[in-house]
Amino acid sequence: MNQYLLDVLKDVENKHAGQPEFVQTVQEVFKSVEPLVDIHPEYEKADILGRMVEPERMFTFRVVWMDDNGKYHTNRGWRCQFNGALGPYKGGLRFQKNVNESIIKFLGFEQVYKNALTGLPIGGGKGGSDFDPAGKSDAEILRFCQSYMTALYRYIGPDVDVPAGDMGVGKREIGYLFGQYRRLKGVWENGVLTGKGLSYGGSLIRPEATGYGAVYYLQEVLKHEGDTIEGKRIGVSGFGNVAWGIMKKAAQLGAKVTYVSGPDGYFYDPDGVITNEKLAFIEWMRANDPMHCKPYADKYGVKFVPGTKFWGTADVDVYMPSAIQNDVTLKWAEKILDSGVRYYIEVANMPTTNEALELLRSSKKLIVAPSKAVNAGGVGVSALEMSQNSERLVWSAEEVDSQLHRMMINIHDTSAKTAEEFGLGYDLVSGANIAGFQKVATAMLEQGIF
């Protein structure tokens, strides 16, 4: 391995031994970009790799909020402003009880290259809290969001850092966060957050963007293979916002999501989650019972298998892990490989462990597409929301959707072309990592040392 790359990697492994998710993503990206680092000795001189693994700025803050019984609670908040070479830091906020510094940093690191791939002027950042939204009343969520923004508002802004949603943060939370920002600053700066409601600067298609973008990307992969999306059966893990967007777009294009898993097990609907009624029920489950997908099976009289995942056993054409990091471990990857499925399209951020990913990629038996390319449509449309806010105009759904579609075609083609240029064949993982990395590295080099 390239000695410089190895040294930086060793350093990260030693320094951050207690941050397994962060170390995992650095290992994954660094492994891919080795051929790029080999032909760019100036990276070492400018210590580009050393800079890439060190956030420009990262901070924690106390978030105190009062529950409905008048009792106080203290949570920890984070914001990681990882890399601003391409634009204002951009990335979501995750509210989930197991969030920690490692998870925020891994998400921030991924975000840097993902955002670069969109071709839009956005740097990479991420934030969140170990606050658990499960079972909280609306008033409790409001008070938490207000406290969170009170601690954060000085450090963000439309040209500084633009948070958005992630797990546990949707339109409601963004609304409460924005209301508090506006109250504290006394200015109209709606470009400070994305994923807003439509009445105050949100973009049409933003809720659907990640899922739609993932399906557009899948279409390009299929095209490359001389295949089409019509009739394809898809298995997704998760039934959150991203999975819902996949179900909707797949249905529009004549494909169908037939397997869906949740924390409690999975269901199999041979007709697919394709009708408006079923899609609305998925939305209802997400809002009201996010730990269980069994209610769908009960309501529509389809098969439910408790306590397990369907990887490798589902009779589908495409797998799209869309739930959470490290969902697919080596044991599941072995089953996926044995099943003979042709397409493994990552959607959630880092849904595959490194050893599982290595197994799937090296087998050459199936096409693996990486999440940082596949799910980039979400943040891509966030950047379009920022554009609309800057020009104080609202674009039509058709306009946003067609820009999203072009963006996803471009991300796929850039990744494929980059891999080809490096003699790697149709390697979408390396292609995406190299293309994203190179763009950020070039901007850093041209901006000098700081």
Q: Which residues are catalytic?
A: 126
Q: Which residue is nearest to ligand GLU (CB)?
A: 92
Per rule CB under 6 A, is residue 124 in the interface with ligand GLU? no
Q: For residue 416, give both structure tokens.
A: 């494929």
CB crowding 188-207: b at 16 or more within 10 Å, else e: ebbbbbbbbeeeebbbbbbb
Per rule CB under 6 A, is residue 90 in the interface with ligand GLU? yes
Provide the minimum distance between the beta carbon of 125 and ligand GLU in the complex, in angstroms, as a whole number: 8
C-alpha span between 296 and 277 (Å, rounded): 11
Q: For residue 389, give both structure tokens.
A: 């806010």
Specify the stretch interacting with ligand GLU by CB under 6 A; choose among 304-312, 378-386, 396-404, 439-447: 378-386
Q: Binding residues for ligand GLU, how many (CB under 6 A)?
A: 11
Per rule CB under 6 A, is residue 207 in the interface with ligand GLU? no
Q: 79 forms bridges with which residues in the sheet? A: 59, 127
Per rule CB under 6 A, is residue 378 in the interface with ligand GLU? yes
Check residue 333 and report its DSSP letter.
H
Provide the minimum distance between the beta carbon of 313 and ligand GLU in the complex, in angstroms, as a whole number: 28
Per rule CB under 6 A, is residue 241 in the interface with ligand GLU? no
Scanning the structure block, which residue is given the tokens 């800079």?
51
Q: Using an 8 Å Cβ cutoff, are 244 and 276 in contact? A: no
* Element housing 208 (H / E): helix 206-224
Backbone angles phi, psi at 129, to 5 degrees: -160, 155
Residue closer to ligand GLU by CB (options 310, 395) is 395
Per rule CB under 6 A, is residue 83 in the interface with ligand GLU? no
Where does residue 304 fall: left (phi above 0), alpha (psi -120 to 50 degrees), or beta otherwise?
beta
Task: State the binding string over 181-200 for ligand GLU (x if CB under 6 A, else -).
Answer: -------------x------
CB burial of residue 442 (10 Å; 0-12, 13-18, 19+): middle
- Residues 145-174 binding ligand GLU (CB under 6 A) are 164, 166
Per rule CB under 6 A, is residue 208 in the interface with ligand GLU? no
- Who contacts 177 (Cβ-Cβ below 8 Å, separation ≥6)? 93, 145, 148, 149, 163, 193
Provide the minimum distance between the beta carbon of 86 and ligand GLU in the complex, in angstroms, as a whole number: 13
Binding-site member from 77, 92, 170, 312 for ligand GLU (CB under 6 A): 92
Provide the minimum distance between the beta carbon of 195 and ligand GLU in the complex, in angstroms, as a whole number: 6
Specify the stretch interacting with ligand GLU by CB under 6 A; choose among 85-93, 250-258, 327-335, 396-404: 85-93
Residue closer to ligand GLU by CB (options 28, 166) is 166
Residue closer to ligand GLU by CB (options 194, 414) is 194
Per rule CB under 6 A, is residue 436 in the interface with ligand GLU? no
CA 209 from chain centre, in angstroms, equals 11
Specify the stretch interacting with ligand GLU by CB under 6 A; choose among 35-43, 67-75, 333-341, 374-382: 374-382
**Residue of 388, 396, 405, 311 lying closest to 352 (CA atoms):** 311
Q: 161 forms bridges with which residues in the sheet? A: 89, 157
Binding-site member from 379, 408, 419, 432 for ligand GLU (CB under 6 A): 379
Write the CA distances from 423 to 28, 171, 223, 361, 373, integer angstroms.
Answer: 19, 43, 21, 16, 20
Task: State the binding string over 343-362 for ligand GLU (x if CB under 6 A, else -).
Answer: ------x-------------
Provide the minimum distance between the beta carbon of 408 and ligand GLU in the complex, in angstroms, as a whole number: 14
Backbone angles phi, psi at 391, to 5 degrees: -90, 5
Q: Which residues bind ligand GLU (CB under 6 A)?
A: 90-92, 164, 166, 194, 349, 375, 378-379, 382
